Chains A and B, each alone.
Chain A
Amino acid sequence: MIDFFKKKESNLPDFWKNYEATFSKNAIENIEDITFVVLDTETTGLDYYTDRMLCIGALKLHKNVIKIDSTFEIFIKQEHYNRETAQIHGILKNGKTERITELEAIKLFLVYLENSIIIAHHAHFDITIFNKALHRNNLPKLKNKVLDTSTLYKKTLIKSNLLNRKEHYSLDELTDKFNISKKDRHTALGDAYITAIAFLKILNKLKEKKKLTVQQLLRLG
């Protein structure tokens, strides 16, 4: 059994090993110095098993700055297709945009991602669907630390009996609360941008309450 795993380990492709190697660096303590990767995926649906990623949009956030030339947006070729969700994200099965294979997309994204902390809205979904794709391609799960803006947002709310707190807050609700334009909603990179701005505003509110270290932030979200 142990041998089997070892063998599998050494069989992992180089791009995965390179990705893994980025995690050997020392952990950063100061939030200012961290690079966050804000991620959103558009998928054929909400089922982890049958549905597939159609688009990955991501951007890097470092010292409160987003550089447009280091954003990430790729479209993926998939056999599975769902007409109903196409109405939401507008990605056609054989549209004009250039598409790459799922494996190609994984390779590119891992190079982009490195050991950054991932931020996503309802992150569990995006991470799981990405991990399923990794699994289909015989790769282990993502190793990155993850923050969820939905969970973090709840931490900014005041503790008052007068306030009806909800279990989940949608990205739309966050755009309303923070007055963020809903332009480009339901495109992967557009949603990633909205999530990034919401994250910055949440962080600002959390910092108002207390000084935060990276460790504390990870515990919250």
Chain B
Amino acid sequence: MKNTISFRVADFLKNYPPFNELTIDELQDLSTQISIIYKEKDAKIFSENDPQHPHFYIIHKGAISLRKKPKNNIVDICDEGDIFGLRPLIANENYKMDAVAHEESILYAIPIDIFKPYAKNNREVGNFLIESFASNTRNPYSKSHRGTLYGESGGTEPFNPSAELLDLQPVKYTKNIISCSPNTQAKQVAATMTLKNVGAILVVENKLPIGIITDKDLRNKIVSGKLPITAPAHQIMTTPVITYPKKLTITQAQMAMIKSSISHLCITKDGTPNSKAIGILSKHDVMVAVGNNPTVLIKAIKRAKRTKEIKQIRKGITMLLTGYLEQNIPMTLISKIISELNDTCIKQVIKISLSKIETPPPVNFTWLSLGSQGRSEQLLQTDQDNALIFEDVADSKLDETRNYFLKLASQVTKRLNVIGYEFCPAEMMASNPSWCLSLSEWKTNVNNWITNPGPDEVLLSSIFFDFNITYGKPELASNLSDYIFETVKNYPNFFLHLASGALQNPSPTSFFRQFLVEQDGAHKDFFDVKRRALMPLTDAARVLILSHSIKYINNTTERFEKLAELEPNNVEIFMAGSYAYKALLKFRTRQGLAHNDSGRYISLDKLSKEEKIKLKRTFKTIKEMQDLIYIRFNVSNLLR
């Protein structure tokens, strides 16, 4: 029975191979037989050696990881539109891998019996099946860029075992060709390249590639003065173009570029210059494919035009992080680099969102990242906390202005959610009208929080000491933060409340020095490393550094280091605080990477004895730090 949902499914399938080869009618018929399956994160779809299911799967939303026993290595991560679990059905064998929901996912299950006749009657679909039979994992046309890990030490058990198969992997090229005609003037060529943010433009005549112009050509031929700025493209271009067919592997591409010492290859339909150009492959594309390094990633993020592209790049960031941790690179450096990358992602998301709104912002604004991202300590993607300040406007314009920014913010937060940042459960987000305010509104709020400090107010104001300006006019934020510091000076009592807030978090160990674990809920018997260990240190560092009136140091470890400098007699404890924080952060990040979550809850029985001792050592520092705050701010006055 065709109905609204089957149409919806057909509408999705038509975008992905091999379904794109079927007619809409065929797809709609097929869709009536499909089941929609919801899988929560970490749910199994099938396990190694399970007998075949009567259907194969295509991912509608989310991601599925294919894992291989005995070490549970991730062999592949399939994304939206990818097919998995097809090969065993054709080869008539049991499943060779585990399939587990890497994120919360929605799958379409397609019955193989219903699908097979289509494969028989349609050559393209049949070929697809044969190719997926040949490839071990999944969709043979899938173009995920898998590559070598950053400095995988000695090639031990790779996180990404397909790395050694680089020679076999098809390379991902840019399908969106930027081209010009042979008569386009150099000036125009340069303008187009700038607009499209590319380093090379293809010169085409009758759809055939006849030459290519790169930045280098412009430099050598125009800027050097050899040719006038009005020179036509055919005089500047490098010709002939080096062309290749689309089934080019990464290794082939690298070799081709080295051999001809060029930075761009043209992909044509049959691989010769006499057929239609279908794509361009740049050195940059190859670099993205083979190695994840921060510069390449930043460049890739800045070029992204769609949220989905950023989501892909984020995988590279995760791989980079894994590599860094494996190499034991100092935590301070790791968090700097990763935070910078995260920050670039958010910036690009805001840029994309701005470009999707018809009108430019009515006044200046600042996008603030709060919480761990604000302190440059966010290594894994956790909740998004953000706020927006806009310039003061006349009262009559206030609603209109706020509505504009709320609209912008709701687009941004939604996109951030798509790339992996959960919505803040307390709605501490710029899309919430209470977090999207004009500068004077913010000042009024902050003033209230500081002068009437209750527990909520302390929490709220503490947020504004840990922010990072992600986008927009920094003056607005610094104006607000100056105001906060001025106000705080007149209310010394505020520090007392902040200090007592810093002592609120539950202690990590019991009287008998046992770990205190969660009492109920889904995380029962897990250790909450964020609330019990990281937050007490963050809070401590904040109140201590503020009491010294130090601004603009937001990072917890840097705050401790500064404190050590300011109070030579307390060097030991502050350096210990800095060290403990780094150790805990690393611990949490490792946990998060291993379980693809925020790493906040740790299962104690999975820890080695050595790890437990390491953890406990940091607890001693936490305890000492809390004692210091207790005495220094005379918190006993408030508590009793």
A-side residues, CB < 8 A to B, are 57, 59, 64-69, 71, 73, 157-158, 160-164, 176-177, 179, 183-184, 187-190, 193, 197, 200-201, 204, 207-210
Contact = CB atoms under 8 A, between A and B. Distances in A.
A177 to B, nearest CB: 7
Given A179-B418, A187-B4, A68 B456 contact: no
List 3 tightest A-B contacts by C-beta distance, closest first: A189-B4, A66-B36, A208-B522
B204 to A, nearest CB: 37
B329 interface: no
B36 A162 contact: no
Nearest to A184: B4
Contacts of B417: 179
Interface of A is mostly: mixed
A161 B426 CA distance: 9
A65 B414 CA distance: 27
B521 A64 contact: no
B1 A204 contact: no
10 contacts: A59-B5, A67-B35, A68-B6, A68-B31, A68-B32, A68-B35, A162-B459, A163-B425, A190-B8, A208-B522
B384 to A, nearest CB: 13
Contact of B414 (A69, A161, A176, A201): A176
A53 B414 CA distance: 34
Interface residues of B, number: 39
A192 to B, nearest CB: 8
A204 B432 CA distance: 24
B34 interface: yes
Interface in B43-63: none
Interface string B4-26: 11111101000000000000000
Interface string B420-452: 000101111000101000000000000000000
B113 interface: no
B205 interface: no
Interface string B104-135: 10100100000000000000000000000000
Contacts of A176: 410, 414
A68 B36 contact: yes
Nearest to B33: A69
Contacts of B459: 162
Given A184-B8, A190-B5, A209-B522, A66 B35 contact: yes
Contact of A73 (B3, B456, B520): B3
Given A184-B8, A197-B38, A68 B33 contact: yes
Contacts of B37: 64-66
A209 B524 CA distance: 10
A103 to B, nearest CB: 21
A36 to B, nearest CB: 12
Contact of B1 (A71, A179, A187, A209): A71
